Amino acid sequence: MQLDGKIALITGGGSGIGRETAVLFANHGAKIAIADLNPKGGQETVQIITQTGGQAIFVQTDVSQAAQVENMVNAVVGAYGRLDIAFNNAGIEGHTDRTVDVTETEFDQIMAVNVKGVWLCLKYQIPQMIAQGGGAIVNTASVAGLVGTHSMPVYGASKHAVIGLTKSAALEYARKGIRINAVCPSVIRTPMVERGFVEFPQFVEATKRINPMRRLGEPIEVAEAVLWLCSDAASFVNGTALTIDGGFTAQ
């Protein structure tokens, strides 16, 4: 069991990549804390884990709010006594608009969740990990953090920022026994992506065509990468942005 006895916190764990990762972590021996803004999805993930003999709790959290993020970390430590692993996965995509058409409100919303949310998680997770002697953190970025993204400029900017935060924090806390990495998925079959396909159904086949593997990624394929990054098998991996994209950015 790669994570046997570890305590893992997953934000955005109520669906998609977060849920798949939480279940996978539980199957590998970790005790899980699910954080999500949506209580229904978060409780469903907890139920999936507990029905198969795992341990999980849910903490409703808006990651853009400092007090709620602090409470989230305190709740995990209160329930389990420590925090070994954090997967900061919560994020939003916003609408499809060109740069000049994005509203200030939407800009602020995307940045608040995708950038401020990751920073707040790091702000409260890292001191706990320092106090207990180390830990592993993975932040969800995107291939949109590596290349330009037509008609999703703020989302792309937010994911570039996540990679920057990841690399800076990794340098700052490497000697404290904390490894901090990011994953950069391309288009993964999640509820977020499915919402976009409902709005623009023509993008389904177009998305497949531009990927060298001619398909979408699956949440489990990202979850397996996150599992590896959080395990001792990746003990010398720090400050990296791991691309999970079927070769998209190799073109």
Q: Which of 43, 89, 62 is nearest to 192 (CA)?
A: 89
H or E element in which residue 79 lies: helix 66-80
DSSP category for residue 190: S
Q: Cβ(71)–Cβ(122) under 8 Å? A: no
Round to whole Å and give the CA distance between 31 and 54.
Answer: 7
> Which stretches of the chain are assigned E, i.e. beta strand?
7-11, 31-36, 56-60, 85-88, 135-140, 178-185, 241-244
Round to whole Å and give the CA distance between 53 and 161.
Answer: 38
**Signed CA dihedral, 106, 111, 112, 117: sign only:** positive
155 tagged catalytic: yes
The radius of gyration computed from the CA coordinates of the chain, to the nearest angstrom, equals: 17
Helix, strand, coil fractions of the chain, as percent rounded to 5: 55, 15, 30
Angle at 125 between CA 26 and CA 218, to 5 degrees: 40
Angle at 187 between CA 191 and CA 222, to 5 degrees: 85
Q: Which of 80, 124, 155, 173 is catalytic?
A: 155
Catalytic residues: 155
